[in-house]
Chain A
Protein backbone atom coordinates (compact mmCIF):
# COMPACT_ATOMS: atom_id res chain seq x y z
CA UNK A 1 0.00 0.00 0.00
CA UNK A 2 2.18 2.77 -1.37
CA UNK A 3 1.40 6.49 -1.29
CA UNK A 4 3.29 9.48 -2.71
CA UNK A 5 1.77 12.02 -0.28
CA UNK A 6 1.30 11.99 3.51
CA UNK A 7 -2.31 13.18 3.08
CA UNK A 8 -4.43 11.67 0.31
CA UNK A 9 -7.99 12.06 -0.98
CA UNK A 10 -10.42 9.53 0.49
CA UNK A 11 -11.00 7.86 -2.89
CA UNK A 12 -7.25 7.32 -3.35
CA UNK A 13 -6.99 5.86 0.14
CA UNK A 14 -9.91 3.52 -0.56
CA UNK A 15 -8.38 2.35 -3.85
CA UNK A 16 -4.92 1.72 -2.40
CA UNK A 17 -5.71 0.56 1.13
CA UNK A 18 -9.16 -0.93 0.64
CA UNK A 19 -10.68 1.12 3.50
CA UNK A 20 -13.52 3.53 2.60
CA UNK A 21 -14.22 6.77 4.44
CA UNK A 22 -17.79 6.57 5.78
CA UNK A 23 -19.69 8.61 8.40
CA UNK A 24 -18.89 5.76 10.88
CA UNK A 25 -15.15 5.99 10.18
CA UNK A 26 -12.89 3.84 8.00
CA UNK A 27 -14.80 0.82 6.73
CA UNK A 28 -13.84 -2.36 4.97
CA UNK A 29 -16.59 -4.89 4.26
CA UNK A 30 -18.89 -4.75 7.28
CA UNK A 31 -16.17 -3.63 9.69
CA UNK A 32 -15.66 0.03 10.63
CA UNK A 33 -13.00 1.76 12.74
CA UNK A 34 -13.65 5.23 14.23
CA UNK A 35 -11.93 7.88 12.11
CA UNK A 36 -12.52 11.41 10.87
CA UNK A 37 -11.35 12.60 7.47
CA UNK A 38 -11.48 16.40 7.28
CA UNK A 39 -12.56 17.72 3.89
CA UNK A 40 -12.41 14.22 2.42
CA UNK A 41 -8.65 14.00 3.01
CA UNK A 42 -7.06 11.08 4.85
CA UNK A 43 -3.99 11.79 6.96
CA UNK A 44 -1.91 8.62 6.61
CA UNK A 45 -0.37 8.80 10.08
CA UNK A 46 -3.80 9.18 11.69
CA UNK A 47 -5.26 6.37 9.56
CA UNK A 48 -2.30 4.13 10.38
CA UNK A 49 -2.89 4.69 14.10
CA UNK A 50 -6.64 4.05 13.76
CA UNK A 51 -6.08 0.84 11.82
CA UNK A 52 -3.11 -0.44 13.91
CA UNK A 53 -1.00 -0.47 10.76
CA UNK A 54 2.65 0.62 10.75
CA UNK A 55 3.46 3.51 8.41
CA UNK A 56 6.95 3.55 6.90
CA UNK A 57 8.26 6.70 5.22
CA UNK A 58 11.10 6.63 2.69
CA UNK A 59 12.20 10.28 2.80
CA UNK A 60 14.73 10.04 0.00
CA UNK A 61 12.09 8.89 -2.47
CA UNK A 62 9.03 10.61 -1.05
CA UNK A 63 7.06 7.43 -0.54
CA UNK A 64 4.90 6.16 2.32
CA UNK A 65 3.87 2.54 2.84
CA UNK A 66 1.20 1.15 5.14
CA UNK A 67 2.00 -2.28 6.49
CA UNK A 68 -0.37 -5.00 7.64
CA UNK A 69 -2.73 -4.76 10.59
CA UNK A 70 -0.67 -5.49 13.70
CA UNK A 71 -1.33 -7.04 17.05
CA UNK A 72 -3.57 -10.05 16.53
CA UNK A 73 -3.60 -12.75 13.89
CA UNK A 74 -3.13 -12.35 10.14
CA UNK A 75 -6.86 -13.05 9.80
CA UNK A 76 -8.91 -10.91 12.17
CA UNK A 77 -12.08 -12.75 11.12
CA UNK A 78 -13.01 -15.63 8.84
CA UNK A 79 -14.80 -13.24 6.47
CA UNK A 80 -12.61 -13.20 3.37
CA UNK A 81 -11.24 -9.70 2.80
CA UNK A 82 -11.84 -8.19 -0.60
CA UNK A 83 -8.94 -9.00 -2.89
CA UNK A 84 -8.65 -6.82 -5.95
CA UNK A 85 -5.78 -7.61 -8.31
CA UNK A 86 -5.10 -7.52 -12.05
CA UNK A 87 -5.12 -10.73 -14.02
CA UNK A 88 -2.10 -11.57 -16.15
CA UNK A 89 -3.62 -9.87 -19.19
CA UNK A 90 -4.14 -6.63 -17.23
CA UNK A 91 -7.89 -7.08 -16.63
CA UNK A 92 -9.34 -6.40 -13.19
CA UNK A 93 -10.56 -9.08 -10.79
CA UNK A 94 -12.40 -8.97 -7.47
CA UNK A 95 -12.58 -12.02 -5.23
CA UNK A 96 -16.15 -11.07 -4.25
CA UNK A 97 -17.23 -11.70 -7.87
CA UNK A 98 -17.07 -15.43 -7.03
CA UNK A 99 -19.58 -15.26 -4.15
CA UNK A 100 -21.87 -18.30 -4.52
CA UNK A 101 -18.97 -20.56 -5.52
CA UNK A 102 -16.39 -22.39 -3.46
CA UNK A 103 -12.93 -20.93 -4.10
CA UNK A 104 -9.45 -22.34 -3.74
CA UNK A 105 -7.18 -19.30 -3.69
CA UNK A 106 -3.61 -20.35 -4.49
CA UNK A 107 -0.47 -18.27 -4.01
CA UNK A 108 2.39 -19.31 -6.30
CA UNK A 109 5.37 -17.64 -7.96
CA UNK A 110 7.68 -18.05 -10.92
CA UNK A 111 10.89 -17.54 -8.94
Chain B
Protein backbone atom coordinates (compact mmCIF):
# COMPACT_ATOMS: atom_id res chain seq x y z
CA UNK B 1 0.00 0.00 0.00
CA UNK B 2 2.88 2.36 0.82
CA UNK B 3 5.43 0.93 -1.60
CA UNK B 4 4.63 3.36 -4.46
CA UNK B 5 5.19 6.38 -2.23
CA UNK B 6 8.31 4.77 -0.84
CA UNK B 7 9.67 4.29 -4.37
CA UNK B 8 8.96 7.95 -5.14
CA UNK B 9 10.33 9.46 -1.94
CA UNK B 10 13.15 7.16 -0.80
CA UNK B 11 15.76 8.81 -3.01
CA UNK B 12 14.66 12.20 -1.65
CA UNK B 13 15.49 11.15 1.88
CA UNK B 14 12.34 9.53 3.31
CA UNK B 15 12.06 6.02 4.66
CA UNK B 16 8.67 4.50 5.39
CA UNK B 17 8.29 2.06 8.29
CA UNK B 18 4.99 0.20 8.55
CA UNK B 19 3.83 -1.38 11.80
CA UNK B 20 1.06 -3.98 11.82
CA UNK B 21 -1.09 -3.77 14.97
CA UNK B 22 -2.15 -7.41 14.82
CA UNK B 23 -2.48 -9.41 18.05
CA UNK B 24 -1.88 -12.56 16.01
CA UNK B 25 1.24 -11.02 14.53
CA UNK B 26 2.77 -12.33 11.33
CA UNK B 27 0.14 -15.08 11.16
CA UNK B 28 -2.48 -12.53 10.05
CA UNK B 29 -0.36 -9.56 8.88
CA UNK B 30 2.33 -11.60 7.13
CA UNK B 31 0.34 -12.61 4.01
CA UNK B 32 -0.65 -8.98 3.39
CA UNK B 33 2.95 -7.85 3.74
CA UNK B 34 4.26 -10.63 1.49
CA UNK B 35 1.72 -9.68 -1.17
CA UNK B 36 2.73 -6.00 -1.03
CA UNK B 37 6.43 -6.99 -1.33
CA UNK B 38 7.63 -3.86 0.50
CA UNK B 39 11.23 -2.70 0.31
CA UNK B 40 10.77 -0.75 3.56
CA UNK B 41 10.88 -2.15 7.13
CA UNK B 42 7.57 -3.90 7.87
CA UNK B 43 7.15 -4.48 11.59
CA UNK B 44 4.79 -6.50 13.76
CA UNK B 45 3.29 -5.04 16.96
CA UNK B 46 1.20 -7.71 18.70
CA UNK B 47 0.70 -5.78 21.98
CA UNK B 48 0.01 -2.37 20.35
CA UNK B 49 3.15 -0.73 21.68
CA UNK B 50 2.45 2.04 19.13
CA UNK B 51 -0.63 3.04 21.15
CA UNK B 52 1.23 3.19 24.45
CA UNK B 53 4.34 4.94 23.07
CA UNK B 54 2.88 7.40 20.58
CA UNK B 55 -0.86 7.61 21.29
CA UNK B 56 -2.04 5.78 18.18
CA UNK B 57 -5.79 5.01 18.43
CA UNK B 58 -6.75 4.04 14.88
CA UNK B 59 -5.32 2.83 11.60
CA UNK B 60 -3.97 4.00 9.32
CA UNK B 61 -2.06 6.56 11.39
CA UNK B 62 1.16 8.29 10.39
CA UNK B 63 3.91 9.88 12.50
CA UNK B 64 6.65 12.04 10.97
CA UNK B 65 10.14 11.87 12.47
CA UNK B 66 13.00 14.04 11.20
CA UNK B 67 16.67 13.19 10.64
CA UNK B 68 17.55 13.99 14.28
CA UNK B 69 14.89 11.69 15.68
CA UNK B 70 12.50 14.55 16.51
CA UNK B 71 8.79 13.95 15.92
CA UNK B 72 7.43 16.75 13.71
CA UNK B 73 3.87 15.44 13.40
CA UNK B 74 2.18 13.22 16.03
CA UNK B 75 -0.21 10.40 15.05
CA UNK B 76 -2.95 11.45 12.63
CA UNK B 77 -4.99 9.70 9.91
CA UNK B 78 -2.62 8.74 7.09
CA UNK B 79 -4.10 7.44 3.85
CA UNK B 80 -1.75 7.05 0.89
CA UNK B 81 -4.67 7.09 -1.56
CA UNK B 82 -8.45 7.12 -1.69
CA UNK B 83 -9.67 3.80 -0.25
CA UNK B 84 -11.90 1.68 -2.53
CA UNK B 85 -14.54 1.35 0.21
CA UNK B 86 -15.52 5.02 -0.23
CA UNK B 87 -16.78 4.29 -3.75
CA UNK B 88 -18.40 0.94 -3.07
CA UNK B 89 -22.01 0.70 -4.25
CA UNK B 90 -24.54 -0.75 -1.84
CA UNK B 91 -25.69 -4.07 -3.36
CA UNK B 92 -29.41 -4.06 -4.16
CA UNK B 93 -29.90 -7.23 -2.12
CA UNK B 94 -28.03 -5.91 0.95
CA UNK B 95 -29.78 -6.45 4.25
CA UNK B 96 -30.70 -3.30 6.23
CA UNK B 97 -27.81 -4.01 8.62
CA UNK B 98 -25.34 -4.47 5.79
CA UNK B 99 -26.65 -1.37 4.02
CA UNK B 100 -26.19 0.71 7.17
CA UNK B 101 -22.64 -0.58 7.62
CA UNK B 102 -21.61 0.15 4.02
CA UNK B 103 -23.15 3.62 4.12
CA UNK B 104 -21.41 4.40 7.41
CA UNK B 105 -18.07 3.26 5.96
CA UNK B 106 -18.64 5.44 2.90
CA UNK B 107 -19.25 8.45 5.14
CA UNK B 108 -15.82 8.20 6.84
CA UNK B 109 -13.70 11.30 6.41
CA UNK B 110 -10.56 10.52 4.37
CA UNK B 111 -8.09 13.12 3.08
CA UNK B 112 -5.50 11.14 1.15
CA UNK B 113 -4.56 13.84 -1.37
CA UNK B 114 -3.99 16.54 1.25
CA UNK B 115 -1.98 14.16 3.41
CA UNK B 116 0.31 12.98 0.63
CA UNK B 117 0.81 16.56 -0.66
CA UNK B 118 1.86 17.65 2.85
CA UNK B 119 4.22 14.68 3.12
CA UNK B 120 5.87 15.54 -0.21
CA UNK B 121 6.29 19.15 0.95
CA UNK B 122 8.00 18.06 4.16
CA UNK B 123 10.31 15.68 2.32
CA UNK B 124 11.29 18.54 -0.03
CA UNK B 125 11.63 21.34 2.54
CA UNK B 126 12.26 19.67 5.91
CA UNK B 127 12.07 22.07 8.83
CA UNK B 128 11.05 24.90 6.48
CA UNK B 129 7.89 23.02 5.52
CA UNK B 130 4.82 24.61 7.11
CA UNK B 131 3.66 21.06 7.91
CA UNK B 132 6.62 20.38 10.24
CA UNK B 133 5.37 21.29 13.72
CA UNK B 134 7.42 22.67 16.60
CA UNK B 135 8.23 20.29 19.49
CA UNK B 136 5.71 22.11 21.70
CA UNK B 137 2.96 21.71 19.11
CA UNK B 138 3.79 18.03 18.65
CA UNK B 139 3.36 17.38 22.38
CA UNK B 140 0.23 19.57 22.57
CA UNK B 141 -1.38 17.82 19.61
CA UNK B 142 -0.66 14.32 20.92
CA UNK B 143 -3.50 12.73 22.81
CA UNK B 144 -4.19 13.46 26.47
CA UNK B 145 -3.21 10.45 28.58
CA UNK B 146 -5.47 10.27 31.65
CA UNK B 147 -5.01 7.37 34.04
CA UNK B 148 -7.85 5.38 32.45
CA UNK B 149 -6.28 5.41 28.99
CA UNK B 150 -2.86 4.60 30.47
CA UNK B 151 -4.44 1.60 32.25
CA UNK B 152 -6.21 0.48 29.06
CA UNK B 153 -2.77 -0.19 27.55
CA UNK B 154 -1.99 -2.65 30.38
CA UNK B 155 -5.30 -4.47 29.95
CA UNK B 156 -4.86 -4.73 26.19
CA UNK B 157 -1.36 -6.16 26.63
CA UNK B 158 -2.71 -8.70 29.16
CA UNK B 159 -5.53 -9.64 26.80
CA UNK B 160 -3.07 -10.21 23.96
CA UNK B 161 -0.72 -12.23 26.18
CA UNK B 162 -3.54 -14.42 27.53
CA UNK B 163 -5.01 -14.95 24.08
CA UNK B 164 -1.61 -16.18 22.91
CA UNK B 165 -1.52 -18.57 25.90
CA UNK B 166 -4.93 -20.00 24.96
CA UNK B 167 -6.83 -18.39 27.88
CA UNK B 168 -9.53 -16.90 25.66
CA UNK B 169 -12.21 -16.01 28.19
CA UNK B 170 -9.69 -14.30 30.48
CA UNK B 171 -8.32 -12.45 27.45
CA UNK B 172 -11.79 -11.20 26.56
CA UNK B 173 -12.23 -9.79 30.08
CA UNK B 174 -9.06 -7.73 29.73
CA UNK B 175 -9.98 -6.59 26.22
CA UNK B 176 -13.39 -5.51 27.49
CA UNK B 177 -11.75 -3.52 30.25
CA UNK B 178 -9.41 -1.86 27.74
CA UNK B 179 -12.45 -0.90 25.63
CA UNK B 180 -14.29 0.48 28.67
CA UNK B 181 -11.30 2.55 29.78
CA UNK B 182 -10.48 3.91 26.31
CA UNK B 183 -13.63 3.68 24.16
CA UNK B 184 -12.12 5.77 21.35
CA UNK B 185 -9.19 3.44 20.80
CA UNK B 186 -10.27 1.62 17.64
CA UNK B 187 -7.14 -0.52 17.47
CA UNK B 188 -8.01 -2.07 20.86
CA UNK B 189 -11.58 -2.67 19.77
CA UNK B 190 -11.10 -3.95 16.25
CA UNK B 191 -8.15 -6.23 17.00
CA UNK B 192 -9.98 -7.86 19.94
CA UNK B 193 -13.12 -8.23 17.83
CA UNK B 194 -11.12 -9.89 15.05
CA UNK B 195 -9.79 -12.46 17.55
CA UNK B 196 -13.38 -13.39 18.44
CA UNK B 197 -14.12 -14.13 14.75
CA UNK B 198 -17.72 -14.63 13.74
CA UNK B 199 -18.82 -14.51 17.40
CA UNK B 200 -17.52 -10.99 17.92
CA UNK B 201 -20.89 -9.28 18.36
CA UNK B 202 -22.06 -11.99 20.76
CA UNK B 203 -18.87 -11.89 22.81
CA UNK B 204 -18.59 -8.10 23.02
CA UNK B 205 -22.32 -7.30 22.74
CA UNK B 206 -21.67 -4.43 20.36
CA UNK B 207 -20.64 -3.77 16.78
CA UNK B 208 -18.44 -1.44 14.78
CA UNK B 209 -21.55 0.38 13.50
CA UNK B 210 -22.95 0.87 17.02
CA UNK B 211 -19.65 2.14 18.39
CA UNK B 212 -18.88 4.48 15.48
CA UNK B 213 -22.34 5.99 15.78
CA UNK B 214 -21.93 6.34 19.54
CA UNK B 215 -18.55 8.09 19.28
CA UNK B 216 -19.55 10.10 16.21
CA UNK B 217 -18.48 9.19 12.67
CA UNK B 218 -16.66 12.54 12.42
CA UNK B 219 -14.33 11.43 15.22
CA UNK B 220 -13.35 8.13 13.59
CA UNK B 221 -10.89 9.81 11.23
CA UNK B 222 -10.68 13.39 12.55
CA UNK B 223 -10.03 16.17 10.03
CA UNK B 224 -6.36 16.78 9.35
CA UNK B 225 -5.05 19.96 10.97
CA UNK B 226 -2.47 20.76 8.32
Asked if A and B bind, the verdict is: yes
Q: How far is the CA of A67 from the CA of B53 in the complex (A)?
A: 10
- Report how many residues on chain A are interfacial, defined by Cβ distance under 8 Å: 52
Contacts of A73 in B (CB 8 A): 55, 139-140, 142-145
Q: Does the CB pair A109–B22 fall under 8 Å?
A: yes
Q: How far is the CA of A61 from the CA of B3 in the complex (A)?
A: 42
Any A CB within 8 A of the CB of B109: no
Any A CB within 8 A of the CB of B226: no
Q: How far is the CB of B127 from chain A (nearest CB, A)?
A: 11
Contacts of A58 in B (CB 8 A): 158, 162, 170, 174
Contacts of B123 in A (CB 8 A): 102
Interface centre among A71, A76, A77, A78 (most CB of B within 10 A): A78
Contacts of B33 in A (CB 8 A): 88
Give the A-binding residues of B (Cβ under 8 A).
1-2, 13-22, 26, 28-34, 41-45, 47, 49-56, 59-72, 74-75, 78, 119, 122-123, 126, 134-136, 138-140, 142-147, 149-155, 157-158, 161-162, 165, 167, 170, 174, 187, 190-191, 193-194
Give the B-binding residues of A (Cβ under 8 A).
1-2, 52-56, 58, 60-61, 63, 65-81, 83, 85-90, 93, 95-96, 98-111
